[in-house]
Amino acid sequence: MSTPPLPSSPVPQSSLVALQAGAVVSRTLVKTGGGTVTAFAFDTGEALSEHSAPFDALVLGVEGTADVTISGTSHRVSAGEILRLPANEPHALRATTPFKMILVMVKA
């Protein structure tokens, strides 16, 4: 099943992806050679395991809170906050409440 395209009119960030019990849900909003923009929803306790990427990324908190670890240092990210994930540094995320975010990966 494909996801409907993002409209060319304003939409609430919180409506971009729905929370699902016990799950991590994602929706690609933009994908180009220069990068991607993806909306995520995490139920409480759900996580992304530690990994790294060859590009900088930005976590934009939309709803709730999550702990994001970058190279062993933990950061609490809440709605309305932004955190940079530096290229090639290991990072992981665990939702401490139901959490929604937008991830912007910059490849160019």
User: Whole-angstrom Cα distance, residue 41 to residue 39?
Assistant: 7
Query: Domains in the chain, ordered, with CATH?
Result: 28-106 (2.60.120.10)
pLDDT tens-place string over residues 5-39: 788 889 999 999 999 999 999 999 999 999 999 99
What percent of the chain is predicted at pLDDT more than 90?
A: 91
The overall average pLDDT reported for the chain is 94
Contact 93, 75 (CB under 8 A): no
CA atoms of 88 and 52, how far apart (whole Å): 5
Please state the pTM of the whole predicted model: 0.92
What does the pLDDT average to over 80-97? 98
SS3 (DSSP) at 14: helix
Mean pLDDT of 55-75: 98
